[in-house]
Structure 1
Amino acid sequence: MRGKWMAWLGSAVAAGCAVGCAAGCGAGKAPVVPAAVEAPVKVARCVLKFRDIRAGNAARARLERDIAQYVRGRPGRIVYGALDLVTGVRLGHGEHEHDMITASGAKVDILAALLAGRDSRLDEGERDLASRMIRESDNRAADVLWSRVGGGGAMSDFYRRIGLKETTPGPSKYWGGTNTSPADRIRLLKVLVKGGKGLTAGDRGTVLGLMERVQKDQAWGVSAAARPGDRVALKNGWTPRPFIHHTWAVTSYGRVVGPERDLLLSVQTDRQPGEGTGIQTIEGIARMIGHRLDDLSPTRTRPCPTNPIA
């Protein structure tokens, strides 16, 4: 009887230990499980963001005054135009003067007209010519493609079609004698960026892509408006004017795009004492516009009203 009792007691103790193992049987005190604590709820702070028109107008007046003062201290004739597609800010001085020679700046026009007239179909040789014409500013390539476009008559038709009212193609085979205005350079850039007017997305990508990859020694000019990390697509023009007191015409136009910015900018000069002087003037204006563009469309924040509905 005693043996049965001991066997029963042993089995009962073993069963109890088995049941209690989850609570730490044989391993000291059972861990204390804390009560669930809810994470604090983050409440978004409500703020209103609005354009500070007064501060923007004041900044614009200061910038225009500073550019005018800078231009007065530079030689020759200087005109410019600017449009930021993000904010709608426009700037300009003499932007509708349309007797400014564009020189190699007309090479973008030639390629755009060729693409529009060919339904984007260029053969391998023409693609090579286009690349050399834009990236290297190769004049012989421009001569060939000007002829294939159809010369000045065809270019006049192209300008009418895309809405360039202040651009006149150079006479005969002299594409470099094309006259234009900063306003029309901005219009051309806007067509290349926004589309329409017979140019497909592929056409526009081709032209802007080549303008983004011009040779380093030709990347001067409106690129001075760029911040670190901005992308620049541009085309420059420069030519001596032996019959105008042995001066130079120097021009630059292009697109500078980055966070909160899509700036189209054209600066044209003539009657410059040298190419370097024209480049210096263009970059001085571009740098002022690029570095102070954000000041022209400042924003302010204000807490939302606590009880907007009375």
Structure 2
Amino acid sequence: MPLRRARRRVRPAVRRPLLCALLAAALLVCGTAAGTVYVTARAQDGGGPAVSSAASSSVSPSASASTAPGADVEEASVEPVAVPEVDHDALLATALAEVPVEDGAAFSVAVLDVGAGDAAVYGSGRFETASIVKVDILAALLLQAQDADRGLTAREKAYAATMIRDSDNTAATELWKAIGEAEGLDAANERFGLTRTVGGDGLYWGLTRTTAADQLVLLRQVFGDDDESELSGASRTYVRGLMGRIAAGQDWGVSAAATADGSTDSSRGGFALKNGWLPRTATGLWVINSVGRVTVDGRDRLVAVVSHGNTTKAKGIALVEAAARAGVSVFSS
């Protein structure tokens, strides 16, 4: 009997540590499962990144056991992927590489996608304006009239119409003198933001020198909005209207890149432009330029192409038109 009682006393003492160990192991397993379920639920709920089965199995028992449902879990941050910037100048250079150019000829192009606000420029040299300066002359005249709080006179309007629509040189000379010749043009251009355009000497307005980039700035003055132009809405509408009604035979140039949009408003049709052409007396080579707005599949582009060193007018026109089409293609959707 004494021996029996002794054995009974020993058995509970042995069982207690064993039961405690089993209970602790069960708690650890439950805690790990609860932590894994919680993290997986957070991932599926949008609360954090998905956790793979491999990742779940790598969670330490101590970390899992300490995570209770409802507790905050540090979520992995996802870095935004940067959208690469488009180098429109490089795209324009690539497109223009396919344009055939005569030996000795040179050209420069500037294009603006009006809707997107993206621009591209090829070449930085200065070129003689020839008759594209007539848009600049009219813009300067309108700016001076705005400053004087007056409208154009009937004579000024008559000169402006023939100067732009028919490219009349006599009318251009009269308005050139009216704005104060090169000094008046340069003063207006400073306000317009043209930084590399210089008016021609004396009455040689056609020898004003400019860049394609500056001509794009001028086009924005004409075709832009109130917040980007020194010209009033009425002045801009007036210039656009004249550029949209160029005389037959003078509507070549950047218009080659346009597609008709079916508009009955001539100033909102497929194009509005001004061209310039001038044979240089000393060399017999041609200056051929074209600037304006073109509508391509319902979207507006501002385009300026300037060139010199062309052996004939026809070859210069072909160069300008090919360059305009290539320029516009850079922003085609």
TM-score w.r.t. the length of structure 1 is 0.71
Q: Which moved more, 1:69-78 or 1:138-147?
A: 69-78
Aligned-residue offset at 1:177: 0.8
Aligned-residue offset at 1:150: 1.0
Q: Which moved more, 1:251-260 or 1:164-173?
A: 251-260
Aligned-residue offset at 1:294: 1.9
Aligned residues: 240
Q: Secondary structure at the match of 2:195?
A: coil
Question: Which of these residues, 54, 77, 98, is aligned with residue 69 of structure 1?
Answer: 98
Label 1:63 to 1:74 Cα distance change in 2 as closer, same or farther (>3 A). Answer: farther
| Structure 2 contact 91–330 (Cα < 8 Å) conserved | no
2:205 aligned with 1:178: no
Aligned partner letter, 2:251: A
Q: Which residue of 1 aligns with 2:322?
A: 284
Aligned-residue offset at 1:163: 0.9
Aligned-residue offset at 1:149: 0.9
Q: Secondary structure at the match of 1:122?
A: coil
Question: Which of these residues, 246, 252, 258, is aligned with residue 226 of structure 1?
Answer: 258
2:281 aligned with 1:242: yes
Aligned partner letter, 2:221: V
Equivalent-residue separation in structure 1 for 2:102 and 2:135 (angstroms): 31
2:103 aligned with 1:103: no
| Structure 1 contact 86–260 (Cα < 8 Å) conserved | no
Question: Which of these residues, 225, 234, 241, is aligned with residue 202 of structure 1?
Answer: 234
Label 1:58 to 1:158 Cα distance change in 2 as closer, same or farther (>3 A). Answer: closer
User: Structure 1, unaligned stretches of length 5 or more?
Assistant: 1-52, 296-310
2:156 aligned with 1:161: no
Label 1:116 to 1:108 Cα distance change in 2 as closer, same or farther (>3 A). Answer: same
Equivalent-residue separation in structure 2 for 1:182 and 1:58 (angstroms): 18
Quote the RMSD (CA, aligned, Å): 2.4
| Larger relative contact order (CA 8 Å, sep ≥ 6) | 1
Q: Which residue of 2 aligns with 1:151?
A: 181
**Residues 235-285 of structure 1 deviation map (CA, whole Å, 9 limit, x = unaligned):** 110001121x22111000101136552201111110110111110001112
Q: Which residue of 2 aligns with 1:256?
A: 294
Question: Which of these residues, 78, 96, 113, is aligned with residue 84 of structure 1?
Answer: 113
Larger Rg: 2
| Structure 1 contact 167–180 (Cα < 8 Å) conserved | yes
Aligned-residue offset at 1:190: 0.6
Equivalent-residue separation in structure 2 for 1:153 and 1:61 (angstroms): 36
Question: Which of these residues, 300, 306, 319, is aligned with residue 268 of structure 1?
Answer: 306
| Structure 2 contact 89–121 (Cα < 8 Å) conserved | no
Equivalent-residue separation in structure 1 for 2:277 and 2:327 (angstroms): 22
| Structure 2 contact 89–122 (Cα < 8 Å) conserved | no
Label 1:61 to 1:173 Cα distance change in 2 as closer, same or farther (>3 A). Answer: closer
| Greater share of residues in strand | 1
Equivalent-residue separation in structure 2 for 1:132 and 1:236 (angstroms): 14
Aligned-residue offset at 1:89: 2.9
Q: Secondary structure at the match of 1:199?
A: coil
**Residues 25-63 of structure 1 deviation map (CA, whole Å, 9 limit, x = unaligned):** xxxxxxxxxxxxxxxxxxxxxxxxxxxx67x95998666
Aligned-residue offset at 1:227: 1.5
Q: Secondary structure at the match of 1:204?
A: helix
Equivalent-residue separation in structure 1 for 2:229 and 2:127 (angstroms): 24
Equivalent-residue separation in structure 1 for 2:188 and 2:88 (angstroms): 38
Equivalent-residue separation in structure 2 for 1:288 and 1:102 (angstroms): 21
